[in-house]
Structure 1
Amino acid sequence: MLGRYALFAFGVVAFTLVAVPRGEIDGGVAEAPSAEGGATAPDSSWSHGYHTLQRQSDGHFYATAYIDGQEVRMLVDTGASVIALTRRDAEAIGVYWNDSDVAPIGQGASGTVYGVPTKLDDVEVGGVVHRDVAAVVVPEGLHISLLGQSYLGRLDSVEISGNEMVISGD
C-alpha cells in the first residue's frame, strides 16, 4: 500500500522537479523571489483563523513552515500527496536515513525518483499545527521542499483567488 501511495506522490514530485526553475531556488531552503528578482520578506499574513500567501513572481506560492521546531521554506504544492523534503532540510530538522533505505518511489520526466518515506512529529504553518504527518525525503534532485496534501489535506480549506492563497484551520 505504501509503495503505491509513494509512487503516486512522487509522480507529482517528479513533475515539480522539472517544473520549478532551478535558477530561482538556492539549495534546499529558498526565499520566494520578488518582482525585482531578489528575496521578499513577508509572503503571508495570519489573521482570525486565515493565513494568506501571496503568489510570487515565478507564479508559485511559498510558505514558511516549522517542522519539528525548525524553520523550512517550502513550495506549496497542492498536487503533491505528501510533504517532500530536500536532503538539506531533512538533515536540518533531524530526519536521518541510511543510504540503503533510499528506493525508487516514482517516475518523473527525468527518470526514476528515489526517496525515503518518513513521519514528521509536527508541522506548523501560520499557527496551524498538525502532528504525525507523512513525508518523504528526496536526497537528490529536489531543490526546494514541498508542502503537500499530507499537511494541506488536514486544513479546513485551501482557496486560491487571483494572486492569493488562503488557508484556514484550527
Structure 2
Amino acid sequence: MSADDTARFIYLGLLLAAVGGYFLAHARKRPGRIAQQATVWGLIFLGVIAAAGLWGDIRQTVAPRQMVYADQGRIVVPRGADGHYHVVAQINGVDVPFVVDTGAGELVLTRRDAQRVGLNPDGLSFRAQARTANGSVATAPVRLDRVQLGPFTDRNQRAWVNGGEMDTSLMGMGYLQHFDKIEITGTQLVLSR
C-alpha cells in the first residue's frame, strides 16, 4: 500500500467518524429521522463508489478517444464535448495529450509535457516569441526524436516549448502537414496518409 493510499484511508476514516459521530449525537432525539438520513447518505456513498469504479467506461463514453484504421491509412478523431479534437500521440515513447489546433503554426508542448518526454525546460533558450489569442509568449525551439500518432511515425520533428502557462499541448500545422488529407466530416476529424 502506497503512502497516498494510506492517506486516503485515514481521510475516509476521519470523514466516517465525523459523519457517524453526528448521527450518534442526534440519534437520541429523533431516531426515525436519523435512520432516514443515514440511508440517504449511504446511498450517496454507494453511488460515488459505483461512479468511481465505472469511471473508465463513463469517460470513454463522455470523451471518446481517437480511432485508428491502420489498414486504411487514416485516424478518425471524434469531436470532444468542448468542441475541440483531442488526440494522444507518443513523443519519444511517452503518451502526450494534444488539442488539434489548425490555427497553431507548429507542434507546441507545455513545459510539463516537455519534461515528461525527456527535455529539460529550464535548460532551454526561450528566445522566440509566439503571438497567441492571449498575447505574446516566449517559446523555445526543440527537436523531437520520434512522434507517433497511431500507426504513423515521424522522426526529427521540429516543435516548440511554450514558456508560459498552457493546459494542453497543441498539435498545429507544423505536424499536421505530414498528412495528405485533413478533413472534418460531421463531428469527426479525419487524418489520412
**TM-score, with length taken from structure 1:** 0.71
Give 1 or 2 for the bigger CA radius of gyration. Answer: 2
Structure 2 contact 137–163 (Cα < 8 Å) conserved: no
> Relative to total residues, which structure has the larger strand share, 1 or 2?
1
1:15-94 counterparts in 2 under 5 A? 39-40=59-60, 42-47=64-69, 48-94=72-118
2:143 to 119, 124, 134: 119
Secondary structure of residue in 2 paired with 1:63: strand
**Deviation (angstroms), 1:149:** 1.5
Question: Which residue of 1 is the match for residue 154 of structure 2?
Answer: 130
* 2:126 is equivalent to residue 106 of structure 1: no
* 2:192 is equivalent to residue 165 of structure 1: no
**Deviation (angstroms), 1:147:** 0.8
* 2:168 is equivalent to residue 144 of structure 1: yes
**TM-score, with length taken from structure 2:** 0.63
Give me the identity figure in percent. Answer: 34
One-letter amino acid of the counterpart of residue 151, structure 1: Y
Structure with larger RCO (C-alpha < 8 A, sep 6+): 1
**Deviation (angstroms), 1:106:** 2.1
Give the count of matched residue pairs: 132
Tell me: CA distance 1:151–1:107, structure 2 relative to 1, closer, same or farther (3 Å).
closer
**Deviation (angstroms), 1:104:** 4.5
Q: 2: CA distance between counterparts of 1:50 and 1:97? A: 33
Q: 2: CA distance between counterparts of 1:104 and 1:78? A: 20
**Deviation (angstroms), 1:112:** 2.2
**Deviation (angstroms), 1:84:** 0.4
Secondary structure of residue in 1 paired with 2:81: coil
Structure 1 contact 90–96 (Cα < 8 Å) conserved: yes
Ranges in structure 2 where 5+ consecutive residues have no aligned partner: 1-57
> Relative to total residues, which structure has the larger helix share, 1 or 2?
2
Structure 1 contact 123–151 (Cα < 8 Å) conserved: no
Question: Which residue of 1 is the match for residue 51 of structure 2?
Answer: none
